[in-house]
């Protein structure tokens, strides 16, 4: 390096003069052909190979190559272009790796590319003039768009590859898999036995095992399509939606609570309607493109089924941050990663560091979602009449509502009395507006400043300004002077006093109430505060008079008192305005009651379901870039439109409202290269325990092209052919020979492909928490199949045996049990669950009453107790594992059961119960081959 | 050591069901740099049971470099302790008591008034002569020369919720993993029979609840395990740790039969690390039952030790914290009480005296104990709240406080935390607030800097301890944080 610099010092001086001369020349006119040559041969290379280190962000060796001028200016080593002797240009030497400095550092350009550079230099480095000549970030996005596999259109199906083992494939996708296996010299695994297959189908699709009878029927079924029939059966089962719906709820970061809220109820009363929509969508096989549209923009669509509105829970069941910017961010993240595997949310504060996502695009989508809001009243999706238990619910609701009404009524009465009794204090403050210092000097005040209800002061001011007429016999004087500036007060007051002498005493409009006239003239005010004190004194006196025994007010008094007692008096507090007088302490008490109502609504069956929708705001939100994500630093305005990475220059701003439906259409469009691939990958992941693309929610630049891209694309095409039917895609996969392989280890194949990327076997999968729990309940005949409705606490309860998907999920305090079983954090979209093995999981199966209780009760069940002693082990094996025990297993059982007298006094489970319990703990129960 | 017998690493490559390569790619550069092998220092072997399975997410891991601290005890004075009444003596404030500040009051949560001199007396302690208030006389008398008092802390806003999250997770609003979760992720833990990260709070939750010890996008196993320390029940510590139906010896028979059945099942399936892992997991869980149960049972502690801590809930927590650290727990967070006990908007003299009284002996005893057991040098103690309190008096707000005009408002502009043990250079103060104690002035330390330094003491470059999630690498300190080398011995 040093040597090199040395040798160039001389050259540096020389070239400086050269560049100088070049710079002074007139701009060269380049031909269209020359410019085209630059655009197609040079610019792409500059953008993809050079600009990162020699562009606007960094200038290694002080070299920038993003304009003709900067290239001619050269680097720290001097000029890099020799226009007179192109061949001697330093640039070309560096590119051809002829010498010490070799660029690009991670690999030489192709000979063709290097040759193009020579031609370009010979042409005097043609470069477009002005804006067209600039190299911007969009140039590199363009190269990513051109080059990254996931951004390329899904190609049409190509002819199937040649394979040797033609007997093996059952589906086109098998050809694609087999061709790669044969290339690697691995044969596929044998087909799994029928019991294994049907268990795989049931546990994978339904989350519970088949019964022994179902297994037997399949094992002995000689029909050619016996397997296909089972596939059809599981796909038609409503339990399928409960299993696969849960997969989607991971994507949708489903939770039953909004997160942290100190004062209000944390539960979403209607989150479950989204969960139930998702289950129904899978069961009814709602076309996936509709599934997308409905979840993003059901409110803007013509729906056949009103319940589909609940789909929009995707946008609304996220954590509520009480900050629209963060709520919107969560929505952008869930939608873009969830449907397209694009990490758009990374571009909130700056351009995406790795992906083709400029920060402008983030704000384009921000504009779309910020144009919508959650309405205060959510739409009901089922009538009260159709809702079972509605009447009971309504009765209970009325009782709590009454508590709030009672509280408000009580406080209203108390406030009314208080405000009348303390009218002096409030009036002085409302009209006199004394300063803090002044306040201290008024000895007649009795209410401490901290106890003042500000609402009452405002009410008085409002009353005097807006309700009381200017010629009111009592308040006319005050109205004439109350807003006078201090400097002008003496003059105005004198005028008013002069006029007062001419006004007739009396109680009609235009006259003056004798009591106030008297009080006024006794000591005319010198300030507005004085005036307030005079009035306050009269008001207080009149009010005091009403309290005397047998009090009879004079007409003049009565007129004044009316200002305190009329319906529109500021001191008259009713249910409709009591709210404005509550201070923080009252508010807390009342919030407690409101919370009780909200809790009731969220936990009581019979509350008619509502959809957690968003609706368009009256005017769409016009987004600007928030610089570094800070909404206080507003950058340039951007359009509401789709992503550059997917549409490039062709995109158009959204037209309808905020553009949510248009966005959904873009995502659900057959030409979107990501949406279908992302779905295929997710579905594949659940069937095979491993995804084709290892980052299911990030298909961006850093995601390598998967080995099985052709399989993915084949299934993506197949999805279109089947009108976006998810069930059809399942079927295609489930019928394949690839899926039907055994999971047994094969050391030779493993040596070649340890990751099983080539799919030489099926991966053995551990049951997820939900499937394990549901299966335990199911094999002990206790699973409660009721579908839908409010979520319930299932993690603590040992008596509620509903399916785990109906478990109440509190994102603010996720039950420990779910956490130790790898349940995903419901605060943001989850690409896939981690698989950890920790002792807390074992403790659950060993000790939890949820499991123990199943074993205990099953022994008491008729099914078990009517089975003869001798056949019980067989019975249990059939019940739990859908097969007969082997001799070896029988011996283990006999040995364990023989020691029944060892069951000690402090044991509350007999040996049979203990035996069932241990069978539930086995690997065979927990794993799917 | 005896419990090690019978544990074999049949295949450390992929016992969790995910392959090593996947694990590496999933966790980004961070874990890659940590090294996955379950390497252990000999001293930790002496007193803890080691994971059989080096791929367990909680298996001990090597940090980036040799850290001085191996454990953390974070004493959290939730609600916000007043620095000017504890560790930041302000004679000027006392001098101006009842008078306005010479500069305008900084904006805090509520209205504040004139200077409010500390009602507590300060005096110098130890060789270092650092001034500490009478509230922490015992702690200061015994240990001031081991403490580093950071007087120039500052945070972002004067509200509990965001400040709690900032102090615990390095971010005020968004969902991010807590410090304890990051540390558990980075270091694993030394005792597989206990959780790596324990958050204790007597009688309920602090404000923000479990979010304070959340694992966020890190796997759930790194989340803090919450214990209501009022209960002292091991079942609250580890769910399902006891079987109420089947006595241990019968359970042993069950597990023996289970093992046989699992072996039968495994035969013919070839190499199956995921099956092995689950078989082994039962043994681990079985032992956990035996060994975890004594943690809370302080009956075996000598009477004089128990007495030295004192009787309050916070004090008992500290004794339990020592027992946890002794057993290899990585990160212990001690919350003073449910809600926000230190939030003394009123009656600060009475309340701070009571609250500090519940702590002072216990902290002194805890440090004594750790020193006695040789654990002080490897246990980092951090004391502080989510922010401090104003040097000026809080003015009453109707219905919000008792209106007594003898308390202090929240103050994020300047406050104190102190650290001790675990590689901290004691007997020093770092940074200052202004002469009245309102705002950090000299060498201000942001919460991110505190986090960066804590990670450094544990052996991490805070910029390198990362987790790949949703398309990017996250770290505790986001794009901030500066290690304060001056604090380190």
Burial of A284 (C-beta count, 10 Å sphere; 0-12/13-18/19+)? exposed
Euclidean distance between the first and the last CA atom of chain A, given in angstroms as a whole number: 60
| pLDDT tens-digit readout, A35-55 | 989 988 898 888 888 888 888
Contacts of B238 in chain A (CB under 8 A): 840, 843
Instruction: With beta carbons less than 8 A apart as the criterion, state whether B383 and B417 touch.
Output: yes
In whole angstroms, give the CA distance from residue B8 to residue B440: 55
In whole angstroms, give the CA distance from residue A224 to residue A201: 18
Euclidean distance between the first and the last CA atom of chain B, given in angstroms as a whole number: 33
What pLDDT was estimated at residue B13?
Answer: 33
Q: How many CB atoms lie within 10 A of CB A488?
A: 10
Burial of A225 (C-beta count, 10 Å sphere; 0-12/13-18/19+)? exposed
Q: Quote the tokens at residue B147.
A: 């403490």
Residue B28 lies in a domain: no
Q: Please give the DSSP secondary-structure letter assigned to residue B359.
A: T
Query: pLDDT in tens for each of the 489 residues of chain B?
Result: 333 232 233 333 333 333 333 333 333 333 322 322 222 222 232 223 333 345 577 889 999 999 999 999 999 999 999 999 999 999 999 999 999 999 999 999 889 999 999 999 999 999 999 999 999 999 999 999 999 999 999 999 999 999 999 999 999 888 899 999 999 999 999 888 888 999 999 888 899 888 899 988 888 778 888 888 877 677 777 789 999 999 999 999 999 999 999 999 999 898 888 898 899 889 888 988 887 777 878 888 999 999 999 999 999 999 999 999 999 999 999 999 999 999 999 999 999 999 999 999 999 999 999 999 999 999 999 999 999 999 999 998 777 777 789 999 999 999 999 999 999 999 999 999 999 999 999 999 999 999 999 999 999 999 999 998 877 789 999 999 999 999 999
DSSP one-letter string for B114-178:
EE---SS-EEEETTTTEEEEGGGHHHHHHHGGGEEEEEEEE-S-S-HHHHHHHHHHS-SSS----
Residue A224 lies in a domain: no
Compare CB distances from B285 to A746, A836, A843 and report the shortest one's residue.
Answer: A843
Instruction: With beta carbons less than 8 A apart as the criterion, state whether A334 and A252 touch.
Output: yes
Compare CB distances from B398 to A451, A743, A827 and report the shortest one's residue.
Answer: A451
Judged by DSSP in three states, A653 sits in coil
* Domain boundary, last residue among A135, A168, A195: A135
In whole angstroms, give the CA distance from residue A881 to residue A756: 27
In whole angstroms, give the CA distance from residue A193 to residue A360: 55
The ipTM estimated for the assembled molecules is: 0.81
Contacts of A819 in chain B (CB under 8 A): 215, 220-221, 223
Strands B445-446 and B466-469: unpaired
Within B358-440, residue ranges assigned H as helices are: 360-372
Q: What angle in degrees, to the nearest 10, is found between the helix axes of A887-898 and A911-920?
A: 140
Q: Among the ranges A139-143, A692-696, B179-183, which has the highest mean pLDDT value?
A: B179-183
In whole angstroms, give the CA distance from residue A255 to residue A314: 11
Q: Do B278 and A926 touch (CB under 8 A)?
A: yes
Candidates A193, A160, A224, A191; CA nearest to A737 is A191
Contacts of B279 in chain A (CB under 8 A): 923
Instruction: With beta carbons less than 8 A apart as the criterion, state whether A623 and A363 touch.
Output: yes
Identify the band that residue A925 occupies on the pLDDT scale cut at 50, 70 and 90: very high
Listed in sequence order, the residues at least 6 apart from A572 whose beta carbon sits closer than 8 Å to its beta carbon are: A416, A565, A566
In whole angstroms, give the CA distance from residue B88 to residue B131: 7
In whole angstroms, give the CA distance from residue A833 to residue A830: 7
Residues A307 and A374 reside in one and the same domain: yes
Contacts of A584 in chain B (CB under 8 A): 397-400
What CATH number did the domain enclosing B418 receive? 3.40.720
What pLDDT was estimated at residue B42?
Answer: 27
In whole angstroms, give the CA distance from residue B225 to residue A843: 15
> Dihedrals φ, ψ of A168, to 5°?
-75, -50
The A residues from 844 to 873 touching B (CB cutoff 8 Å) are: 844, 846-849, 852, 856
In whole angstroms, give the CA distance from residue A865 to residue A756: 46
Return the residue matching tokens 């005493």: A505
Q: Give the total number of structural domains in chain B.
A: 1
Residues A436 and A543 reside in one and the same domain: yes
Contacts of B56 in chain A (CB under 8 A): 836-838
Q: Quote the tokens at residue B180.
A: 């304890």
Q: Do A923 and B400 touch (CB under 8 A)?
A: no
> Dihedrals φ, ψ of B379, to 5°?
-120, 115
What pLDDT was estimated at residue A901?
Answer: 61
Q: Do A766 and B278 touch (CB under 8 A)?
A: yes
Residue B231 lies in a domain: yes
Listed in sequence order, the residues at least 6 apart from A541 whose beta carbon sits closer than 8 Å to its beta carbon are: none
Q: What is the mean pLDDT of chain A?
A: 91
Residues A391 and A432 reside in one and the same domain: no
Size of interface A-B (CB pairs under 8 A): 246
What pLDDT was estimated at residue B471?
Answer: 75
Q: Quote the tokens at residue A608.
A: 């008619």
Residue A71 lies in a domain: yes
Mean pLDDT in residue range A750-758: 92
Tell which of B262, B406, B471, B479 to mutate to test the A interface (max A CBs under 10 Å).
B471
Q: Quote the tokens at residue B248.
A: 């241990």
Strands B225-227 and B197-200: parallel
Q: Quote the tokens at residue B377.
A: 């040098």
* A170 alpha-carbon distance from chain centroid: 40
Å between B57 CA and nearest CA of chain A: 7
Handedness of CA A187, A193, A197, A200 (dihedral sign): negative
Say if pTM beats, i.e. exceeds, 0.90: no
Residue A365 lies in a domain: yes
Instruction: With beta carbons less than 8 A apart as the criterion, state whether B280 and B7 touch.
Output: yes
What pLDDT was estimated at residue A222?
Answer: 96
Write the Ramachandran bin of A560: left for phi over 0, alpha for psi from -120 to 50, otherwise beta: alpha
Q: Which residues pair with B474 in a beta bridge?
A: B467
pLDDT of A390 above 50: yes
In whole angstroms, give the CA distance from residue B121 to residue A367: 58
What pLDDT was estimated at residue B271?
Answer: 87
Q: Do B471 and A908 touch (CB under 8 A)?
A: no
Residues A251 and A367 reside in one and the same domain: yes
* Domain boundary, last residue among A570, A595, A629: A570
Å between B177 CA and nearest CA of chain A: 11
Judged by DSSP in three states, A400 sits in helix
Mean pLDDT in residue range A153-162: 94
In order of A70, A686, A705, the CA distances from A384 in angstroms are 73, 39, 53
Residues A400 and A455 reside in one and the same domain: no
Contacts of A697 in chain B (CB under 8 A): 470
Contacts of B470 in chain A (CB under 8 A): 333, 337, 343, 345-346, 697-698, 828-829, 831
Handedness of CA A763, A838, B200, B188 (dihedral sign): negative
Handedness of CA B65, B43, B14, B186 (dihedral sign): negative
Residue B20 lies in a domain: no
Instruction: With beta carbons less than 8 A apart as the criterion, state whether A328 and A339 touch.
Output: no
Q: Quote the tokens at residue A389.
A: 């238990």
Judged by DSSP in three states, B92 sits in helix
Q: Quote the tokens at residue A742.
A: 């055994």
Residue A770 lies in a domain: no
Instruction: With beta carbons less than 8 A apart as the criterion, state whether A772 and A924 touch.
Output: no
> Over the range A815-827, which residues count as b (16 or more CB within 10 Å of their CB) and which as e?
bbbbbbbbbbbbb
| pLDDT tens-digit readout, A78-94 | 899 998 898 888 898 89
Return the residue matching tokens 């986001």: B478
| pLDDT tens-digit readout, A448-497 | 888 899 999 999 999 999 999 999 999 999 999 988 898 999 999 999 99
Residues A335 and A463 reside in one and the same domain: no
Tell which of B161, B220, B234, B276 to mutate to test the A interface (max A CBs under 10 Å).
B220
pLDDT of A541 above 90: yes
Planar angle of CA A236, A237, A238, nearest 5 degrees = 115
Could you tell me if A2 lies within 8 Å of chain B, comparing CB atoms?
A: no
Residues A368 and A389 reside in one and the same domain: no
Strands B71-76 and B331-335: parallel
Residue A29 lies in a domain: yes
In whole angstroms, give the CA distance from residue A390 to residue A398: 12
Q: Do A346 and B216 touch (CB under 8 A)?
A: no
Contacts of B264 in chain A (CB under 8 A): 886, 888-889, 892
Q: Among the ranges A17-21, A37-41, A106-110, A428-432, which has the highest mean pLDDT value?
A: A428-432
Residues A126 and A16 reside in one and the same domain: yes
Q: Give the total number of structural domains in chain A.
A: 5
Contacts of A907 in chain B (CB under 8 A): 245-247, 250
Instruction: With beta carbons less than 8 A apart as the criterion, state whether B428 and B149 touch.
Output: yes
Could you tell me if A888 lies within 8 Å of chain B, comparing CB atoms?
A: yes
Residues A390 and A520 reside in one and the same domain: no
Instruction: With beta carbons less than 8 A apart as the criterion, state whether A258 and A279 touch.
Output: no
Domain interval for residue B320? 71-238+293-487
Burial of A504 (C-beta count, 10 Å sphere; 0-12/13-18/19+)? exposed
| pLDDT tens-digit readout, B3-53 | 323 223 333 333 333 333 333 333 333 332 232 222 222 223 222 333 334
Residue B368 lies in a domain: yes
**Residue B21, H or E segment:** helix B20-34
Candidates A828, A349, A250; CA nearest to B218 is A828
Candidates B90, B94, B12; CA nearest to B51 is B12
Domain interval for residue A538? 422-570
Residues A345 and A426 reside in one and the same domain: no
Candidates A97, A82, A91; CA nearest to A22 is A82
Candidates A533, A538, A542; CA nearest to A561 is A542
In whole angstroms, give the CA distance from residue A607 to residue A563: 45
Q: Do B19 and A754 touch (CB under 8 A)?
A: yes
Q: How many CB atoms lie within 10 A of CB B38?
A: 19
Residue B166 lies in a domain: yes
Compare CB distances from A747 to B56, B270, B471 and report the shortest one's residue.
Answer: B270
């Amino acid at each position: 390096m040093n040597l090199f610099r040395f040798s160039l010092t001389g050259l540096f001086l020389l070239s400086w003069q050269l560049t100088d001369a070049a710079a002074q020349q007139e701009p060269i006119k380049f031909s269209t052909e020359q410019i085209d040559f630059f655009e197609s041969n040079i610019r792409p290379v500059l953008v993809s190979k050079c600009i990162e280190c020699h562009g606007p962000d960094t200038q290694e060796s002080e070299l920038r190559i993003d304009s003709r001028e900067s290239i001619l200016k050269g680097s720290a080593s001097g000029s890099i272009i020799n226009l007179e002797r192109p061949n001697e240009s330093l640039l070309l030497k560096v590119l051809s790796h002829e010498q010490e400095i070799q660029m690009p550092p991670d690999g030489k350009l192709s000979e063709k590319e290097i040759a193009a550079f020579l031609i370009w230099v010979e042409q005097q480095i043609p470069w477009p003039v002005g804006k067209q000549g600039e190299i911007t970030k969009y140039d590199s996005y363009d190269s990513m768009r051109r080059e990254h596999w996931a951004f390329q259109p899904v190609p049409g199906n190509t002819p199937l590859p040649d394979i040797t083992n033609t007997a093996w494939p059952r589906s086109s996708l098998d050809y694609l898999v087999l061709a790669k296996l044969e290339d690697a010299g691995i044969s596929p695994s044998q087909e799994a036995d029928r019991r294994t297959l049907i268990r795989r189908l049931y546990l994978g699709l339904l989350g519970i095992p088949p019964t022994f009878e179902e297994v037997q029927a399949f094992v002995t079924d000689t029909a050619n399509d016996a397997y296909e029939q089972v596939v059809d059966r599981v796909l038609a089962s409503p339990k399928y939606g409960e299993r696969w719906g849960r997969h989607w709820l991971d994507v949708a970061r489903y939770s039953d609570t909004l997160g942290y809220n100190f004062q209000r109820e944390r539960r979403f009363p209607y989150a479950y309607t989204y969960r139930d929509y998702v289950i129904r969508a899978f069961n009814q096989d709602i076309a996936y493109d509709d599934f997308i549209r409905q979840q993003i923009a059901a409110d803007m669509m013509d729906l056949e089924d009103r319940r589909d509105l609940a789909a929009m829970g995707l946008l609304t069941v996220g954590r509520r941050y009480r900050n629209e910017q963060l709520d919107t961010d969560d929505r952008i993240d869930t939608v873009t990663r969830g449907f397209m595997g694009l990490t758009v949310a990374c571009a909130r504060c700056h351009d995406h560091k790795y992906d083709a996502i400029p920060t402008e695009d983030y704000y384009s989508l921000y504009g779309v979602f910020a144009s919508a809001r959650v309405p205060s009243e959510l739409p009901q999706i089922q009538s009260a009449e159709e809702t079972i238990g509605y009447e009971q619910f309504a009765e209970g609701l009325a009782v709590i509502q009454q508590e709030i009404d009672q509280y408000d009524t009580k406080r209203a009465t108390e406030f009314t009395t208080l405000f009348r009794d303390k009218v002096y204090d409030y009036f002085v403050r409302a009209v006199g507006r004394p300063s803090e210092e002044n306040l201290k000097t008024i000895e007649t005040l009795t209410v401490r400043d901290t106890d003042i209800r500000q609402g009452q002061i405002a009410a008085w001011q409002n009353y005097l300004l807006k309700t009381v007429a200017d010629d009111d016999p009592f308040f006319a004087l005050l109205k004439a002077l109350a807003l006078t500036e201090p400097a002008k007060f003496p003059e105005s007051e004198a005028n008013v006093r002069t006029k007062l002498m001419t006004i007739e005493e009396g109680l009609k409009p235009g006259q003056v109430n004798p009591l106030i006239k008297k009080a006024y003239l006794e000591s005319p005010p010198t300030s507005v505060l004085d005036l307030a004190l005079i009035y306050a004194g009269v008001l207080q006196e009149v009010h005091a008079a009403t309290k005397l025994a047998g009090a009879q007010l004079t007409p003049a008094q009565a007129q004044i008192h009316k200002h305190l007692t009329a319906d529109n008096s500021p001191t008259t507090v009713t249910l409709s305005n009591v709210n404005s007088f509550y201070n923080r302490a009252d508010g807390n008490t009342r919030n407690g009651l409101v919370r009780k109502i909200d809790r009731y609504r969220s936990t009581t069956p019979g509350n008619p379901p509502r959809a957690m929708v968003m609706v368009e705001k009256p005017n769409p939100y016009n987004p600007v870039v928030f610089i570094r994500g800070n909404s206080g630093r507003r950058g340039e305005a951007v359009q509401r439109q789709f992503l550059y990475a997917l549409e490039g220059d062709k995109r158009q701003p959204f037209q309808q409202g905020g553009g949510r439906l248009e966005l959904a259409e873009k995502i659900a469009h057959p030409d979107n290269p990501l949406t279908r691939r992302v779905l295929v990958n997710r579905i594949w992941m659940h069937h095979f325990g491993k995804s084709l693309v290892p980052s299911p929610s990030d298909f961006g630049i850093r995601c390598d092209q998967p080995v099985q891209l052709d399989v993915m694309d084949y299934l993506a095409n197949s999805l279109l052919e089947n009108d976006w039917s998810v069930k059809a895609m399942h079927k295609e996969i489930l019928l394949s020979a690839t899926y039907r392989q055994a999971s047994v280890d094969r050391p030779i194949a493993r040596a070649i492909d340890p990751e099983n990327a080539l799919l030489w076997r099926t991966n053995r999968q551990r049951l997820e928490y939900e499937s394990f729990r549901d299966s335990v309940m199911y094999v002990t005949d206790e699973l409660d199949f009721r579908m839908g409705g409010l979520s319930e606490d299932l993690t603590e309860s040992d008596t509620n045996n509903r399916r785990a998907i109906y478990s109440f999920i509190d994102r603010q305090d996720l039950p420990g049990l779910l956490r130790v079983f790898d349940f995903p954090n419901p605060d943001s979209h989850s690409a896939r669950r981690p698989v950890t093995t920790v002792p807390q999981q074992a403790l659950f199966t060993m000790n939890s009453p949820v499991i123990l209780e199943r074993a205990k009760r099953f022994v008491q069940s008729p099914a078990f107790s009517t089975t003869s002693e001798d056949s019980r082990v067989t019975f249990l094996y059939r019940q739990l594992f859908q097969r007969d025990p082997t001799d070896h297993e029988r011996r283990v059982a006999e040995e364990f059961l023989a020691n029944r007298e060892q069951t000690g006094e402090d044991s509350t489970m007999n040996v049979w119960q203990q035996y069932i319990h241990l069978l539930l703990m086995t690997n065979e129960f927990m794993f799917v081959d | 050591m005896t419990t090690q017998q019978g544990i074999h690493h049949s295949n450390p490559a992929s016992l969790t069901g995910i392959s090593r390569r996947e694990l590496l790619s999933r966790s980004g550069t961070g874990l890659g740099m940590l090294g996955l092998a379950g390497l252990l220092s000999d001293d930790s072997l002496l007193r803890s049971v080691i994971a059989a399975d080096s791929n367990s997410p909680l298996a001990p891991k090597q940090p980036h470099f040799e850290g001085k601290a191996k454990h953390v005890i974070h004493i959290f004075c939730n609600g916000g302790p007043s620095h000017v009444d504890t560790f930041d003596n302000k004679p000027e404030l006392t001098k101006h008591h009842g008078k306005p500040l010479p500069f305008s009051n900084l904006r805090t949560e509520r209205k504040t008034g004139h200077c409010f001199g500390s009602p507590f007396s300060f005096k110098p302690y130890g060789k270092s002569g650092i001034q500490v208030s009478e509230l922490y006389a015992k702690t200061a008398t015994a240990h001031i020369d081991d403490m580093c008092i950071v007087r120039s802390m500052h945070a972002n806003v004067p509200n509990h919720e965001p400040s709690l999250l900032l102090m615990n997770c390095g971010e005020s609003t968004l969902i991010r993993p807590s410090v304890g979760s990051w540390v558990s992720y980075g270091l694993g833990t030394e005792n597989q029979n206990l959780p790596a990260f324990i958050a204790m709070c007597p009688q309920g939750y602090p404000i923000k609840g479990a979010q304070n010890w959340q694992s966020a996008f890190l796997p759930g196993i790194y989340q803090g395990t919450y214990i209501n320390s009022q209960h002292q029940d091991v079942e609250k510590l580890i769910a399902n740790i006891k079987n109420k139906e089947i006595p241990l010896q019968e359970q042993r028979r069950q597990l023996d039969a289970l093992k046989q059945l699992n072996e039968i099942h495994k035969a013919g399936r070839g190499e199956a690390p995921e099956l092995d892992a689950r078989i082994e997991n039962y043994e681990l869980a079985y032992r956990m039952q035996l060994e975890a149960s004594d943690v809370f049972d302080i009956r075996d502690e000598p009477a004089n030790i128990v007495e030295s801590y004192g009787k309050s809930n916070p004090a008992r927590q500290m004794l339990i914290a020592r027992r946890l650290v002794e057993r290899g727990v990585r990160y212990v967070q001690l919350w003073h009480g449910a809600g926000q006990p230190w939030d003394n908007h009123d009656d600060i003299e009475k309340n701070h005296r009571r609250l500090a009284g519940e702590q002072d002996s216990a902290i002194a005893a805890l440090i004594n104990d750790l020193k006695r057991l040789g654990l002080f040098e490897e246990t980092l103690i951090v004391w502080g709240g989510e922010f401090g309190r104003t040097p000026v008096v809080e003015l009453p707000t109707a219905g919000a406080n008792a209106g007594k005009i003898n308390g202090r408002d929240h103050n994020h502009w300047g406050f104190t935390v102190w650290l001790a043990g675990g590689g901290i250079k004691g007997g020093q103060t770092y940074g200052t607030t202004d002469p009245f104690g309102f705002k950090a002035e000299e060498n201000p330390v942001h919460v991110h800097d505190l986090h960066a330094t804590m990670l450094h003491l544990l052996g991490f470059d805070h910029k390198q301890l990362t987790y790949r999630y949703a398309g990017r690498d996250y770290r505790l300190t986001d794009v901030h944080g500066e290690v304060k080398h001056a604090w380190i011995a």
